[in-house]
Structure 1
Amino acid sequence: MADHYVSDELRGFILKRIDSVAQIEALLLIRSNPRSQWNAARLARRLYIGEPEAAEALSRLCASELLTCTDEVYRLEGVPEQNLKLIEQLLGVYSRHLIPITNLVHSKPRRIGSFADAFKFRKGS
């Protein structure tokens, strides 16, 4: 169980702000080369995922104030200091205890609403 490796503060951070392992991997890549130009296409190639999935991960990280975005270029620069500290903590624990962290991420309830929205009828459809 992740309890042995994850502080309560970090657990709350993961449960509140991290929706997927792809998001953690995106943070790892961007942190590893912060001066680089990161966009959805480049991230998708590096993570071996589809560009829509990469764009979704990056978008959610921005919405959670874990990345900033200017002209579709994503970076850590400008992220609140407290979030940067928790990102560093997360990445440190993740690098040593991958399975417990991924289990914690996967234990979160899924965002069913967005799936259900795909079946709503809209005017003009």
Structure 2
Amino acid sequence: MIPEEVRQFIIDKIDSIAELEGLLLLRNQAEIEWDSATLAQRLYTNTQQTEEVLAHLHAQGFLAVKENNSTSYFYQPNSPELAEMVNRVAEIYAKYLIPVTNLIHNKPQTRVQKFADAFKFRKKEDN
């Protein structure tokens, strides 16, 4: 159903549905520069979460940044191969929404969760 190379790409590069939806929205409206507040409204997320999504997508090479009075992002993959893979992901997601969603939800612990877990305080065992 989901080709193996697309499956692996999603596992390696996409940590949440918000990331996937944000990436595809920016891809579909590549002429628009997005700030985190505007994108948060479109994704129904809060601004902080959207800032994290945009930073991750930028770090993965999907987006370029424009620094003005505020930071804005626009779709500009750093290679033709990356752009082509995003196109394939968009096609697969449109056809297989539930399997792609399940893939993201069921993937091994995300980098974000691992980072957050590093800051959890653990109760010392009483001796």
TM-score by length of 2: 0.83
Q: Distance in 2 between matches of 1:78 and 1:23?
A: 15
Percent of residue pairs identical: 31
Q: Of 48, 53, 60, which residue of structure 1 is paired with 2:49?
A: 53
Q: Which residue of 1 aligns with 2:25?
A: 29
Q: Distance in 1 between matches of 2:65 and 2:93?
A: 24
How far the C-alpha of 1:95 sits from its partner, in A, is 1.1
Which stretch has the larger CA shift, 32-41 or 63-72? 63-72
The 5 A counterparts of 1:64-75 are 64-71=60-67, 72-75=71-74
Q: Distance in 1 between matches of 2:80 and 2:48?
A: 29
1:38 aligned counterpart, secondary structure: coil
What do the CA deviations read for 1:22-79 (whole angstroms, capped 9, x no partner)? Answer: 0111112112211111111111011111011111111111111122222222122252
| Contact 2:62–2:76, Cα closer than 8 Å, also in 1 | no
User: Superposition RMSD on alpha carbons, in Å?
Assistant: 1.5
Larger radius of gyration: 2
Q: Which residue of 1 aligns with 2:115?
A: 114
Q: How many residue pairs are counted as aligned between the two chains?
A: 116
Q: Distance in 1 between matches of 2:77 and 2:116?
A: 32
Q: Which portions of structure 1, spanning 4 or more consecutive aligned residues, are displaced by more than 6 angstroms?
A: none
Which stretch has the larger CA shift, 77-86 or 92-101? 77-86
